[in-house]
Amino acid sequence: MKNKIFKIFFGAFFGVSIFFSCENDLPTRAEFTSIDFSGLDENGGTWAPVLLSSASEIVVDAPTAVNSTEYQAELSALRSATQNLSGSQVEAVQYWTNNPILRWNEIALELAAKYNLIPGPNPDGTYTLPNAANPAGPPPFPFAHPPYTCRMLAYLSVAQFDGLITAWHYKYTYNRPATYATDTTIPYAYTKNSLPSFPSDGAVIAVVSRDILIAMFPLEKDYLQAKAAEHLGSLTWSGSSVQSDIAAGEYIGTEVKKIALARAAGDGMKNAQTPKPKSDSIKAAALARFGWQWDNLESPVRPVGLTPLFGKVKMWNVPTVEEVRPVAPPAPGSPAFEKDAQELRDIAKNLTDNQRKIANWWSDGLSTYTPPGHWNRLAKDFMIKYKMNPLRSARTFAYMNMAIMDAGISCWDAKYYYHYPRPIQTIPGFKTILGTPNFPSYTSGHSTFSAAAAEVLAYIFPAEATFCRDWAQEAAESRIYGGIHYRFDAEIGIDQGQKVAQYTIDKAKLDNAN
């Protein structure tokens, strides 16, 4: 059952014992070193980018000819650079692989988990919020909660996707063959294919990922620069790219990241965490409109909920947030409410082992990669299973993360429009096995995020559609078992996430990648 093996030899005396412990090595990343791509998407340069007007908006000049002395010198330099690799260089080649989109996604999730810590109270009972203008804090910036993380992942994925569409466009415009095809003495570390080498897709990914993540996690600048430097180095050590391939890729990455970060600067996120007077007026509006309001029950009380105006952030593929706003929830005390409240009491009283496990499995709370991160991890596993190339991986992440962020925006719109109280507020003495988050109940964020992610994954991986939708359903149920959401939060959240995702899927159907 539990794969724990201990072999113990006790010596005759205390202190003279020898102990052998053979424990599981605990994995810190997905295990793969090279992917034999299921296809190269030779028409990738014709796909519709998200932010760029076209794949040729960023202009890349033609490279030197294959038989030019400059290029031959580059090949010769590459050949010598692949000889006598150090141990750390070999490790870097094995780590980054020929689909580094997956590694940068893991890095993004790790930073999300690292920064997903809610600021605690000051000694006087006040709270200080993270401040982008003073990232060191305390508390450090950012607090990578689910809205922050879903947005971070969306910009990262969209920028990677547009950069790679551009790279593919020029790869198949200029058709410079792979390094190892021109010079067969160059040892190539991964599975060979016919993808043209100029510009380097790896360099696009390294630069765009580094720069988007530095903008999102400013305190990680040194760490991210070191990661990117290692990644760029691995392009040489693996025999993938000569310097001019890399330089062109870096140029594309730099241009794309400017466009992505310009959108991010103006998307309304900086206003999402409102001051208290604004937050109070949002709450008062809900009370006047519906006769109820959510209150934070922490000690000391948090004066403002999490990102009350995240619902006003610019959406990717839904024209207006109002058109996907769900119907009003049942009023506290109504028969429909009492039915779902009674279910929560019953579950709390007779929680099964399986319900507890589901609650914890999808909890994705503080100090984790959040539900959007969880779905990125699941998507990554599919990309490995289906041997996706970097371009198609970036497309999958981009559409999924746009849908997840749109779902988050729609969910937050509902949360603060309806301002619905949590079970611990409406059910006297109610205790939970998960911590109740600092924002209103209706609708469930887990449910909307998960349903949106599942719909996009079901579209891209039709063979996995049932799994994905079942997982989303389970993620939604998990919040009921945890005692922090009513069933109507979860069910209407699922419906809302599916509706929101449809806008993104409709767009994906027309991007020429199908």
Partner 1 sequence: MKKYLQLTLGVLLLFAARHAHAQTLSDAIMMKQREICFALMYDYGTWDHYWEGAELRVNGNIGTLTRKTTMGMVAYGVTKNLNALLTIPYIETKSSGGQLAGVKGFQDISIALKYEAFNKKIGNGKLLALATGAFATPMTNYLSDYQPYSLGQGTTEWTLRGIVQYELDKGMYVRGSVAHLWRGQTEIERDYYYNNGSYYTTYMDVPNAWNFQGTLGAWLFKYSLQLEATYFIMNCISGDDIRIYNAPQPTNKVEFSQVNLFAHYWFQKKAKGLGVLAYYSHMLEGRNMGQFTNIGGGFTYQFKL
Name the site residues for partner 1 (rule: CB under 8 A): 2, 4, 6, 8, 10, 13-15, 17, 19, 21, 23-24, 26-30, 106, 109-110, 113-114, 117-121, 139, 297-300, 348, 353, 356-357, 360-361, 363-364, 366-369, 374, 377, 424, 430-433, 435-436, 483
Kindly state the DSSP code that residue 9 receives in the 8-state scheme: E
**CB within 8 Å of 12: residues ≥ 6 apart:** none
Q: Which is nearer to partner 1, 106 or 464 (CB)?
A: 106
Least distance CB 98 / partner 1 (angstroms): 21
Contacts of 198 (CB under 8 A, 6+ apart): 63, 170, 171, 174, 176, 244, 245, 248
CB 431 to partner 1: min, Å = 4
Q: Which is nearer to partner 1, 122 or 194 (CB)?
A: 122
Tell me whether residue 49 or residue 130 sits nearer to partner 1 (CB atom).
Answer: 130
CA distance 418 to 420: 5
Question: Cα 267 from chain centroid?
Answer: 18
Residue closer to partner 1, measured from CB, 61 or 353: 353
Residue closer to partner 1 by CB (options 141, 459) is 141
Residue 256 vs 468, nearer CB to partner 1:
468
If the CB atoms of residues 113 and 186 are measured against partner 1, the closer one turns out to be: 113
Which amino acid is it at 18? I
Distances (CA, A) of 421 to 118, 305, 441: 20, 12, 6
Name the minimum Å distance from CB 362 to partner 1: 8
Residue 67 Cβ, how far from partner 1 at the closest point, in Å? 46
At closest approach, how far in Å is the CB of 438 from partner 1? 11
CA gap 19, 178 in Å, rounded: 52
Q: Considering the complex, what minimum distance in angstroms separates the CB of residue 116 from partner 1? A: 8
Per the CB < 8 A criterion, the answer to whether 143 and 118 are in contact is yes
* Torsion region of 364: left, alpha or beta (phi above 0 gives left; psi -120 to 50 gives alpha): left
- CA torsion 467-469-475-476 (nearest 10°) is -160
- Cβ nearer to partner 1, comparing 66 with 433: 433
CA 331, distance to chain mean position in Å, is 35
User: Which of residues 241 and 273 has its CB atom nearest to partner 1 in the complex?
Assistant: 273
Q: How far is the CB of 330 from partner 1 (least distance, A)?
A: 22
**Shortest distance (Å) from residue 197 CB to partner 1:** 31
Whole-number Cα distances in Å, 342 to 55, 147, 176, 467 = 55, 30, 67, 30
Question: What angle, rounded to 10 degrees, do the helices at 390-418 and 146-174 form?
Answer: 150
Closest approach of Cβ 304 to partner 1, in Å?
17
CB 190 within 8 A of CB 237: no
How far is the C-alpha of 365 from the C-alpha of 298, rounded, in Å? 16
Q: How far is the CB of 107 from partner 1 (least distance, A)?
A: 9
**Contacting residues for 488 by C-beta, under 8 A, at least 6 apart:** 329, 330, 336, 337, 340, 442
Q: Tell me which amino acid residue 109 is.
A: L
> Nearer to partner 1 by C-beta: 276 or 431?
431
Q: Which residues face 21 on adjacent strands? A: 6
